[in-house]
Amino acid sequence: MTPPLITPKKRIALLKALASPARIEVVEVMQISGPATVAEISTQLGRAADSLYHHLRQLEKAGIVERQGTRLSGGRSGAVYALCDRAVTADSSQESPAEERAAMADLGAAILRLTERDMRTALTDDWEPESTFAGMHDFPLVQRTKGWLSPDQAAIAMEKIQDVQNFMREHAVCEDPGESGSRLFALSLVLSPVPERRKDKAPATETETTP
């Protein structure tokens, strides 16, 4: 079944809703642990429950999460939130409007802020290589590489990146991390054309002068 197309307006609303490190984390909790109450999300993120309601409302309004009944959590009944089970794709036959590109840039910035926080934490308070599995000293893996790619080569790079993303998604759920010796990892990816660096002024040319 072909996934339904979403309008540029709907896509912009979705991107704007996700352009927040806190909301990205909320979505990640549900990706890893499944449907959850505010109290359960609060416990996993170490955030006050009251600070999460606004973010959940924004995600719900954008159609990213939905309520699925209630259940007891922490001795209280609370709404259960789950990721919407809808496969969507953008209509690539139209050029992305400027507002959509700006929303994508905001989302990328939010992901990078979250990535920086995780990386710094891994290298400081949370960094205990002697208590983790072999090779842990090689993480976090931080690299930046440039290369000249033709359109076909860029498409190949995207396919390889998608393979890595799919591998991570296949291991998003771990029933017993303690038994398996697993540790939660985050992967952030940015593949972007590099804008041409233009000089404001043309280089001065040498001219002959007569004494």
Angstrom distance (rounded) from CA 80 to CA 95? 37
| CA dist 120 → 127, 136, 188 (Å) | 9, 15, 14
pLDDT tens digits, the chain, 211 residues: what are they? 444 556 778 888 889 999 999 999 999 999 998 999 999 999 999 999 999 999 999 999 998 999 999 988 767 888 999 998 654 444 444 556 888 888 889 999 999 999 999 888 887 765 555 444 555 555 677 888 999 999 999 999 999 999 999 999 898 888 777 677 788 889 998 888 888 876 555 555 555 444 4
Instruction: Give tens-digit pLDDT for 145-199.
Output: 999 999 999 999 999 999 999 999 898 888 777 677 788 889 998 888 888 876 5
Q: What is the pLDDT of residue 154?
A: 93
Taking the chain, what is the end-to-end CA distance rounded to the nearest angstrom?
81
Angstrom distance (rounded) from CA 161 to CA 48? 35
Angstrom distance (rounded) from CA 37 to CA 67? 9
Angstrom distance (rounded) from CA 10 to CA 64? 11
Residue type, 208: E
